[in-house]
Amino acid sequence: MRTAETPTETPTELLVARPKRADARRNYEKVLAAAREAFAEGGEATSLEEIARRAGVGIGTLYRHFPTRQALLEAVYVNEVEEVARSAEELDGGDPWESLNAWFERVISYFATKRALWAELLDYLAPDAPLFMTCRASLFAAGEPLLRRAQEAGVVRPDVEFWDVMHMVGGIAKIPTNDPKQVERILRVALDGLRYHAES
Amino acid sequence: MRTAETPTETPTELLVARPKRADARRNYEKVLAAAREAFAEGGEATSLEEIARRAGVGIGTLYRHFPTRQALLEAVYVNEVEEVARSAEELDGGDPWESLNAWFERVISYFATKRALWAELLDYLAPDAPLFMTCRASLFAAGEPLLRRAQEAGVVRPDVEFWDVMHMVGGIAKIPTNDPKQVERILRVALDGLRYHAES
């Protein structure tokens, strides 16, 4: 686990250039948040002008931080991966089942962001581009210990692997429904499948 | 349950015109099987000529049974729904959990067929077209009693509905992997989630 004493950069932090000055960093974060929100609403095609407007910054400021549309899309994607990874760190140490369950509940919204960005990112990058491979490794490094800990504690069946569960959650994230409660319900059932054998 | 004494047509049987004469019916079935196979292999764009060739019939024979590409696509889709529905009838009466589980294992390949046809069918039909609504009702009529029976037997949790499980299985059918064993493994985990509460 990283502490304040070891501020080394994570692999994903090396993927995008972030401003160091506090005021520049604030604008950067505002643009990132506005872009993420716009893409999550299904507006993959949202223009950079519209994103600048939503963020409350000038288009010049946006371009200073994200010289191309690709740069912005990559930054939103990497940022989401980092937040998911960070949430695993925060959950580390809690009840093994509750931590695992809570992490995969968070992962559902990662898949929603990924889905919104994926098609356009693939215009710029190959599916096995270093950016994706680094993000993949980062998700594994974050979530796999939570799964292993739950398996070692005997609360999760031993016959599943990390990417099985990721795929399962990713599949559920794609369910064509407008009812978030239904997705929650289905995710709960599927994740409960992880602890089925533990009780038999 | 239908018996030999009640040979009335099911709602889905009314959706497509099938030849009554045995030899014509054989050719009809051959084309249908070849089309289904071609589409399942990912060849949504397979030409009618290629399908006739695969079926070992002349193109004239194909057109006699399926005057348009739409007619063939609809017939493949409806046929798949009927087979899934029939498999539920065959499973009816067995062990409640095993029957339900086996049915949803069959449903996975229904989703693969649906996926292969869906985009092109939507060029011809609205998502709420009578054909789709009838198929939907037929799947419900086939599978819902299996779920209800397993719930009444106490082997499946009471807090799930038929379409929840269909959506869950449909989501898993979309997992981007080339490993069928992985899909099987994930489906098993997710379906086991159905009986989690039953044991707690």
Query: Which is nearest to B157 in space by CA: A193, A181, A165, A171?
Result: A193
Residue-wise pLDDT for A117-149, tens only, equals 888 899 999 999 999 999 999 999 999 999 999
The predicted structure's pLDDT at residue A2? 47
Which amino acid is it at A149?
R
Task: Give the confidence band of A116 by pLDDT, cuts at 50, 70, 90.
Answer: confident
Which range, of A51-65, B72-86, B108-122, averages the lowest pLDDT? B108-122
Terminal-to-terminal C-alpha distance of chain A: 34
- The predicted model gives B157-170 an average pLDDT of 96
Radius of gyration from C-alpha coordinates of chain B: 18
Q: Count of residues for chain B? A: 200
Burial of B3 (0-12, 13-18, 19+ CB in 10 A): exposed
Is the model's pTM score more than 0.90? Answer: no
Average pLDDT, chain B: 89
The predicted structure's pLDDT at residue B7? 53
Q: Which of A174, A192, A197 sits opposite B174 (nearest CB)?
A: A174
From the CA of A113, how many Å to the nearest CA of chain B? 17
CB contact under 8 A, A186 and B197: no
Q: Which residue has the higher pLDDT, B22 or B162?
A: B162
Which range, of A15-19, A104-108, B170-174, averages the lowest pLDDT? A15-19
- Torsion, CA A63, CA A68, CA A73, CA A74, rounded to 10: -110
Residue B2 has pLDDT above 60, yes or no: no
The predicted structure's pLDDT at residue B68? 92
Q: Which of A164, A173, A175 sits opposite B182 (nearest CB)?
A: A164
For every residue of B56-97, DSSP letters joined together read: TS-HHHHHHH-SSHHHHHHHHHHHHHHHHHHHHHHHTTS-HH
Chain B (106-145) residues lying within 8 Å, Cβ to Cβ, of chain A: none
Tokens 């299985």 identify what position?
B169
- The predicted model gives A98-106 an average pLDDT of 96
Residue A44 has pLDDT above 80, yes or no: no
Average pLDDT, chain A: 89
Q: Are A114 and A80 in contact (CB under 8 A)?
A: yes
Of the residues A167, A182, A183, A191, the best mutation for testing chain B's interface (the one with the most B CB atoms within 10 Å of its CB) is A167
Residue A4 has pLDDT above 60, yes or no: no
CB contact under 8 A, B186 and A172: no
With a pLDDT cut of 70, the percent of chain A lying above it is 92
- The predicted model gives B124-131 an average pLDDT of 93
Query: Which is nearest to A141 in space by CA: A75, A84, A190?
Result: A84
Chain A (155-194) residues lying within 8 Å, Cβ to Cβ, of chain B: 157, 159-160, 164-165, 167-168, 170-177, 182, 185-186, 188-194
